[in-house]
Amino acid sequence: MENRPLPRPDAAAYDAARARQNQLTKPPGSLGVLEDIACRFAAWQGRVKPDAPNPAITVFAADHGVAADGVSAFPQAVTAEMVKNFAAGGAAICVLARANGARLEVVDAGIAHPLDPALPIVHARVAAGSANLAREAALSEAQLDAALEVGAAAARRAVEVGAAAARRAVEAGANLLVAGDMGIGNTTPSAALICAFTGHDIDAVVGRGTGVDDAGLARKRDAVARGLARVAGRALTPRQTLAELGGLEIAAIAGFYLEGARRGVPSLVDGFIATAAALAACRIEPLLADWLLASHVSQETGHALAVRALGLSPLIDLRLRLGEGSGAALCLPLIAQAIALHNEMATFLEAGVSDAL
């Protein structure tokens, strides 16, 4: 993954967009968050009237060694089975991608069960799942680097223009990225990362994930506690923390966000796992936060705390806890309408309306 610095959003375009909002035929601020969305896209695109969102959704899948400790309500084999469902177009994110006209790509970053090479996904498996974070580093340094690059490569495919990109994405290139996740047990490393990066208590962050019972929740909390105890007192860098406590798809999502920002493309952050990845990526490169928009707050314990740690505010709360990028996908029409209002409403001058409202 390239290591060049991240650009900054265009402050002048933001200010000009905010001025335009104040000239539209409505009381200033009356569209609330919709005005903020439009102005942020103006800054990201460097134009007073930003283009409509052209989203690209990438779902990253991997397995986790900590699943062996009984932290999920589902067996690990479900990861591979769900990826096959993605490839067949039957998952929730497939429906939402179609409904929004969004390009969807599925990436095997580290599924334990081998998949048919003919399956129409991106086969980029770094390893057959991560190690058990409760007992040892989840990823080696080499695996972390490889997973970050898997995500960066997916971002490049989404935003680059040209024949190769056109085969995989849209000819014009994406101007908004969404990362989804699939990996049985992945709320456990996500919770461990959120605890490590924010200092919040385990009980405040570790939730039921796919729906574990009380005994399963106790096992999850114990696994996170053992992982955190294993690294306690060590002066770890953010990258090292991600390797010790994360997972292959989580690292890939972090790389996806970072590469998107390097190319001047923002990301719409999904749920608990995607937010943990965003938190790790922002600890690696703090300027990334300027290129992130939080889509929703999920029902998973600790998600709101993680979003707050990023300095973001979620757009919606629909009591979701699915992952896959589904919460972010549901926000795409809202974003499109915010930009349409900003671009197409008349100003007071254009409408011949007095602005003394």
Task: Write down the pLDDT at residue 173.
Answer: 87
Task: Write down the pLDDT at residue 356.
Answer: 55
Using 50, 70 and 90 to split pLDDT, how confident is the model at 211? very high
Task: Write down the pLDDT at residue 163.
Answer: 35
Q: Quick one: tokens of 354? A: 């007095």
DSSP state of 296: B
Show the domains of the chain with their CATH numbers. 55-335 (3.40.50.10210)
> What is the mean pLDDT of the segment spanning 206-232?
96
Share of the chain above pLDDT 90, in %: 93
> What is the mean pLDDT of the segment spanning 203-215?
95
* 139/162 Cα distance (integer angstroms): 34
- Judged against a pLDDT cut of 70, whether residue 164 lies above it is answered with no
Task: Write down the pLDDT at residue 31.
Answer: 98
Summarised one tens digit per residue, pLDDT across range 171-206 is 458 999 999 999 999 999 999 999 999 999 999 999
Entry pTM? 0.95
Q: Active-site residue among 2, 249, 324, 350? A: 324
Task: Write down the pLDDT at residue 2.
Answer: 62
Summarised one tens digit per residue, pLDDT across range 243-262 is 999 999 999 999 999 999 99
Task: Write down the pLDDT at residue 329.
Answer: 98
- Judged against a pLDDT cut of 50, whether residue 169 lies above it is answered with no
Helix, coil or strand: residue 23: helix
Asked about 81 being catalytic, the answer comes back as no
Residue carrying structure tokens 């990438």: 58
Dihedrals phi, psi of 176, to nearest 5 degrees? -155, 130
Summarised one tens digit per residue, pLDDT across range 12-50 is 999 999 999 999 999 999 999 999 999 999 999 999 999
Task: Write down the pLDDT at residue 1.
Answer: 60
* Range in 78-87, 117-126, 161-170, 274-283 with the lowest mean pLDDT: 161-170
Mean of the per-residue pLDDT values for the chain?
A: 95
* 84/91 Cα distance (integer angstroms): 9
CA angle (329, 334, 336) in 5-degree steps: 95
Share of the chain above pLDDT 70, in %: 95
Task: Write down the pLDDT at residue 160.
Answer: 81
Bridge partners for 58 per DSSP = 105, 179
- Judged against a pLDDT cut of 70, whether residue 161 lies above it is answered with no
- Judged against a pLDDT cut of 60, whether residue 325 lies above it is answered with yes
Helix, coil or strand: residue 292: strand
> What is the mean pLDDT of the segment spanning 84-112?
97
* 197/284 Cα distance (integer angstroms): 11
Using 50, 70 and 90 to split pLDDT, how confident is the model at 354? confident
Measured in whole angstroms, how far is the alpha carbon of residue 102 from the centre of its chain? 15
Dmax over CA atoms of the chain, in Å, equals: 69
- Judged against a pLDDT cut of 50, whether residue 305 lies above it is answered with yes
